[in-house]
Amino acid sequence: MFQLQSLLAGLPLLALASAAAIEPRQSAAQVVRISSLENIAVRPNGQILATNMNSNNLYAVDPEKKTSSTAIQVTGASGLSGIGEYAPDVFAVIGGKGIYKVDFTGAAPKSSLIKTISDANNLNGLAVLDNSTLLVADAGKGSVYRFDVATGAYSEALKDATMAPSGGIPFGIDGIKVKDGVVWYTNIFKNSLHKVAIDPATAKATGAVTTLWTNLMGDDLCFGPNGKLYVATNGKNSLVEVDPANPKPVQVGSVTGSTSCAFGRTDKDKNVAYVSAGAGVFAVTIKL
């Protein structure tokens, strides 16, 4: 989600004072400085892709050389948010109400609009269900769309009170990821983390929503190679680790204005969680 640092004083509904008490283990190492990053993903070659809601530049970050550049400008989008790889080196990116395809398999990257979700309110989080299906979170409506990347067909698959917007900025469900038939998601202004089992074909809920916490801000999230969930906490300036078997958050890194995370994909950095934030991309080494 957007950076909250300048907004905290005016949003008492954030209930920051009641956030879970967690002590930092380490300060994250800055990889590159880019302002106001929103979401990140990692390519098969190890390069990091980063989005910004105020720009249509999709940034490429080399974590070894600690350099950044514009990988591609996504034509038609005024800003970019959620991103996910649904085929080898092919990514879906949210740009406003549009879902764009960014393809790195050729000599140069190419972008194209798959479909505009015209009835959307405020798209933000994105999760890959399978190689042809996305789950797209509408933070303004408090719902999740099932989106077919081949046809552009979409429909509302999930809607629940725990996804509903609230606060001075009408923003609800934020981060979303799916693993082993379970959707995990945050509601940033309700300081909450939730999960719900879904049907793998329809993405409809097959059971009740489980709430894991209601006292810690959560933005976007990612799964590590150890099977644990990692949540960027935005205004709480950290990355926390969640064991699905014991959902108490444990802080593993201190990152100011953390918005999302993704793990490295090479032998050198498979235990590194890369975190996007207000001041760039940071690296947190995780003990696996």
What CATH code is carried by the domain that includes residue 256? 2.120.10.30
Report yes or no on 143 lying in a domain: yes
Q: How many residues does the chain have?
A: 288
Residue 4 has what pLDDT?
A: 56
pLDDT along the chain (288 residues), means of 10: 46 34 69 97 98 97 98 97 98 98 98 97 97 97 98 98 92 97 97 98 98 97 97 97 92 97 97 97 95
Q: Which domain holds residue 79?
A: 24-285
Q: Is 172 strand, coil or helix?
A: coil
Report yes or no on 181 lying in a domain: yes
Residue 2 has what pLDDT?
A: 58
Q: Number of folded domains in the chain?
A: 1
Residue 1 has what pLDDT?
A: 61
Closest CA to 160 of 147, 181, 176: 176
Report yes or no on 11 lying in a domain: no
Report yes or no on 8 lying in a domain: no
Residue 135 has what pLDDT?
A: 98
Report yes or no on 14 lying in a domain: no
Report yes or no on 18 lying in a domain: no
Compute φ and ψ for 136, nearest 5 degrees.
Answer: -120, 120
Contact 92, 149 (CB under 8 A): yes
Residue 256 has what pLDDT?
A: 96
Residue 3 has what pLDDT?
A: 57
Global pTM reads: 0.92
Report yes or no on 30 lying in a domain: yes
